[in-house]
Amino acid sequence: MDLCSIKHAELGEEWRNYKGRVVFRGDYITDEHGMFAVFTEQGASASHIEAANILDAVARLPGNDGEDADAVGAYTQLTMREAYKLLGTHTPYIETFVTLPKDRQPPSWSNIVDPVCIMDGNLYGHPIAGLLWEIHSHALVKKAGFSPIPSWECLFVHREKQLFLSIYVDDFKLAGKKENIKPMWKTLTETGIELDPPVSLHGDVYLGRAQYNCENDSAQTELHQTLVTRLTTSIVKTTPTTNNIEATMSKMGNNPQSSTLLEDNIDQTPQIPTLPKDPKPKSPPKSKPKPKSNSKTHQSKPLPPTAMTSTTYDHIKSWQYTMKGHAQQSVENKTYQYSKWSPHLV
């Protein structure tokens, strides 16, 4: 079956282009007896948006960069016969016969009644096409030196080259050491993944969301610098005391030395911070009782002291995610009009 869609329909006219795709009717697969074929549920791994966000941040670390590339044709980069080999020896290759649409049949088939042919490509629409592509692409990525990250599906790390790779079906996002990115794209291509030329993260659309490097908003930066500095000046780690008896004794006054030590170490009184615009900081609530001394706290390393915050923003890289096109669509198409229909809203 042929499908036609407009790619980047949510963006401006200049971005749109028609996209055609030949797909396999996965909803109508029968066996030789005409019974619907049953496939075991083979779910592909999830690619997390959090991983993509983290990689965008990694790409902005000093000395780092990030790029994105699409796999050409994705699923069809491997044949069904090759794909079945990836499933292991216990899954025998089963030939799939397909009926082509009339306009796709060669003239030599005109004399044949209901002609069929063997499907060789791993076409989109086949119930396990996604899984086969995933196994194939992940195997090649591992061959290039990447190793999977525990509990993060579709995310890989190359420790030696200091690179991270996130895969979302046919979208490959690579972030890490700037000088290793270009050679790594070359390595990935050499292992057998056919990729489009990589593009910079600036202006890139990943999962329908565009990101742009932007000018630093000094007011926003200052607001967050103030917030982070104030909130993290005295971070408290709470751990239960290792010697409850000592704590009990100190509470009862049997061990004054221990009691003093514990009291000195406690820094748990909550401080209510104020907004940056508020000139008078509020005092901590006095009515709150002091925490009991059956817990021990320690002061952490002074994390972000004020001296570390920068007053010049030249070295700060800013970027923003925008989904203006989707926002426009969500109100232009139906929502706004439907809502206006309702008389009780007026």
Partner 1 sequence: MVSTPCLDDHQLTTEDIEHPGKVAIPAARIVLKSRYLARLARPDIYWTVNSLAREVTKWTVACDKRLYRLSCWIHFHQDWTLKCFLGDNIQDTFLSMFCDASFAGDLKGSKSTSGGYLCITGPNTFAPIARMVKKQGAVSHSSSEAEIIALDSAVRLEGLPCLLLWELINDVFGNHTPHTPVKQPSTNSTAHPRDLYTFLSNVDYVPCTLPLSQNITKLIIFEDNEAVIQMCIKGRTPQFRHVPRTHRVDLDWHVECIQEDDSIFMKYVGSKEQIADFLTKGIFTADQWKTLCQLAAVGPPSKNLEC
Q: Judge contact between 320 and 204, C-beta under 8 A.
A: no
- In DSSP notation, 255-281 reads -HHHHHHHHHH----------TT-SSP
By CB under 8 A, residue 243 contacts partner 1: no
Q: Does 304 bind partner 1 (CB under 8 A)?
A: yes
String marking each residue 109-148 x if it binds partner 1 according to CB under 8 A? ----------------------------------------
Query: Helix, strand or coil for residue 29?
Result: coil
- Decide: is 301 part of the binding site for partner 1 (CB under 8 A): yes
User: Least Å distance between CB 61 and partner 1?
Assistant: 6
Q: Which span (87-95, 116-124, 186-194, 197-205) binds partner 1, by CB under 8 A?
A: 197-205
Residue 310 binds to partner 1 (criterion: CB under 8 A): yes
Beta strands (DSSP E) in 123-262 are 147-149, 152-158, 163-168, 171-177, 199-200, 204-206, 209-214, 236-240
Could you tell me which residues are beta bridge partners of residue 34? none
26-30, long-range: CB within 8 Å, 24+ apart, which pairs?
26/125, 26/126, 26/127, 26/129, 29/96, 29/127
Backbone CA torsion sign across 94, 100, 105, 108: positive
Per-residue contact flags (x/-) with partner 1 for residues 157 to 186, judged by CB under 8 A: x-x--x-x-----------x----------
The window from 1-9, 115-123, 204-212, 247-255 that contacts partner 1 (CB under 8 A) reads 204-212
CB of 207 to partner 1, least distance (A): 6
Q: Nearest 5°: CA angle at 69, between 64 and 72?
A: 160
Contact pick of 13, 32, 103, 215 for partner 1 (by CB under 8 A): 215
Q: Does 197 bind partner 1 (CB under 8 A)?
A: no
Q: Which of residues 35-64 bind partner 1 (CB under 8 A)?
A: 49-51, 53-54, 56-58, 60-62
**Parallel, antiparallel or unpaired: strands 204-206 and 152-158:** unpaired
Q: How far is the CB of 72 from partner 1 (least distance, A)?
A: 24
Q: Name which of 31 and 267 has its Cβ closer to partner 1.
A: 267
Q: Is 248 in the site for partner 1 (CB under 8 A)?
A: no
Report yes or no: 281 and 273 within 8 Å, Cβ to Cβ.
Answer: yes
- Which one among 12, 183, 208, 256 touches partner 1, defined by CB under 8 A? 208
What is the C-alpha separation between 98 and 231, in angstroms, rounded?
A: 63
Tell me how far apart the alpha carbons of residues 44 and 318 are, in angstroms, rounded to a whole number: 34
Q: Is residue 33 a contact point for partner 1 (CB under 8 A)?
A: no
Q: Smallest distance, Å, CB 154 to partner 1? A: 12
d(C-alpha 171, C-alpha 134), whole Å? 12
Q: Residue 341 interacts with partner 1 (CB under 8 A)?
A: yes
* CB half-sphere exposure, 221, CA atoms < 13 A: 16
Tell me if 224 contacts partner 1 by CB under 8 A: yes
Q: What is the nearest approach in angstroms of partner 1 to the Cβ of residue 36? A: 28
- Nearest distance from C-beta of residue 184 to partner 1, angstroms: 14
Minimum CB separation of residue 16 from partner 1 in Å reads 18
Could you tell me the CA-to-CA distances from 245 to 94, 191, 242, 295, 340 in Å, in that order? 70, 63, 9, 12, 69
**Pick from 216, 248, 258, 265: which binds partner 1 (CB under 8 A)?**
216
When asked if residue 3 is in the footprint of partner 1 (CB under 8 A), the reply is no
